């Protein structure tokens, strides 16, 4: 009886070992829900990571921003923006990030860092009232001036800003969105406009991702940044497509309904994969903990899967990370 039990246990351990090795092999490129060192859960959580051991790093923060048409804050916009600021501040401090890539940012040329480089210090660099979360949220809620998390980060840290948007795709998506929000339309026209808008938003996402490795390399070779790392801030609705591209290691976008020649299928290898970048997708706490927001942005299954992974850790506080 003892020998049978011993044999059974040995077989069980071998089987478990094979299963674990297989899982690790399958997850070598991407996995769900692993924290970046010790990202504080007070600010947000990591819901996806790809090729995380690479020193070339893109941190993607899913954001909530002002209404694209009215430019007004939603009920939770300022809170989300405050959390985005804190996540960005943490990444600058702990990861040494020196380059911000905001969705919807346009500039005739690079907006350079205000000093030469930045050295991760392990201590908070927030100044005065910005160290207080409520004061930060109030500042971001002020609609008398246009201000967002990225602008405050650039004002508080020696970081640069670069445009990664394709301006023509951005304008086309904006025009399509305005077409949906202005005037009464029939069901057929609304369906067609929605199909076109979904297509254009995917094309925008793809164009942003494809541009990023080139922009980071340019900044690094010019000496504007000391490492090949950057933070992309982008609306949470773009994240499912982005994660799908990374999982498939390829971009595939199907044409909208009854399309014309200029809006056909699009397919391409993913530059981030070819250049062997690590990609970490982060959600601010307010978004991550609101089921309705997750469902509205098709993120509920992604977040559920991240949280179900036994190796995933969302640590509750801050401890010193090595750089």
Q: What is the pLDDT of residues 64-92, one digit of tens each?
A: 755 544 545 567 889 999 999 999 999 99
Per-residue confidence (pLDDT) for residue 190, from 0 to 100: 87
From the number of C-beta atoms within 10 Å of its C-beta (0-12, 13-18, 19+), residue 174 rates as middle
Kindly state the percentage of the chain with pLDDT values over 70.
71
Mean pLDDT value of segment 41-62: 94
Per-residue confidence (pLDDT) for residue 311, from 0 to 100: 46
The residue with greater pLDDT, 261 or 187, is 187
For the chain, what are the domain ranges? 1-30, 32-308
Q: Average pLDDT, whole number, for the chain?
A: 79
> Are 57 and 276 within 8 A, CB to CB?
no
Greatest mean pLDDT among 20-24, 105-109, 187-191, 252-256: 252-256
CA dihedral 113, 116, 117, 122 (to 10 degrees): -100
Mean pLDDT value of segment 107-111: 65
For 59-166, where are the alpha helices, taking DSSP H only? Answer: 77-95, 133-141, 149-156
The residue with greater pLDDT, 312 or 145, is 145
Mean pLDDT value of segment 85-104: 94
């Amino acid at each position: 009886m003892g020998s049978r039990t011993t044999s059974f246990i040995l077989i069980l351990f071998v089987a478990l070992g094979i299963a674990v090795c297989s899982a690790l092999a399958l997850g070598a490129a991407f996995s769900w829900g692993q924290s970046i060192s010790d990202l504080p859960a007070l600010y947000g959580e990591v819901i996806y990571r790809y090729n995380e051991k690479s020193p070339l790093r893109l941190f993607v923060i899913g954001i909530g921003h002002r209404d694209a048409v009215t430019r007004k804050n939603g009920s939770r916009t300022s809170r989300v923006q405050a959390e985005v600021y804190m996540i960005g501040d943490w990444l600058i401090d702990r990861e040494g990030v020196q380059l911000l890539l905001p969705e919807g940012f346009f500039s005739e040329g690079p907006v350079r860092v205000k000093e030469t480089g930045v050295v991760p210090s392990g201590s908070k660099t927030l100044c005065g009232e910005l160290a207080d979360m409520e004061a930060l949220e109030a500042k971001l809620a002020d609609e008398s001036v246009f201000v967002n998390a990225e602008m405050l980060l650039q004002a508080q840290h020696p970081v640069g800003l670069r445009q990664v948007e394709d301006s023509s795709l951005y304008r086309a998506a904006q025009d399509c969105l305005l077409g949906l929000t202005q005037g009464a339309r029939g069901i057929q026209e609304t369906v067609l406009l929605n199909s076109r808008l979904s297509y254009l938003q995917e094309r925008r996402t793809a164009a942003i991702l494809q541009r990023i490795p080139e922009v980071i390399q340019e900044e690094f070779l010019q000496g504007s940044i000391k490492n090949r790392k950057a933070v992309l801030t982008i609306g949470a609705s773009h994240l499912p497509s982005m994660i799908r591209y990374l999982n498939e290691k390829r971009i595939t976008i199907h044409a909208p309904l009854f399309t014309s020649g200029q809006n056909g299928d699009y397919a391409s290898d993913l530059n981030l994969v070819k250049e062997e970048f690590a990609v970490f997708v982060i959600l601010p706490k307010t978004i991550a903990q609101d089921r309705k927001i997750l469902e509205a942005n098709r993120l509920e299954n992604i977040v559920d899967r991240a949280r179900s992974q036994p190796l995933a850790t969302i640590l509750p506080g801050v401890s010193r990370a090595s750089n």
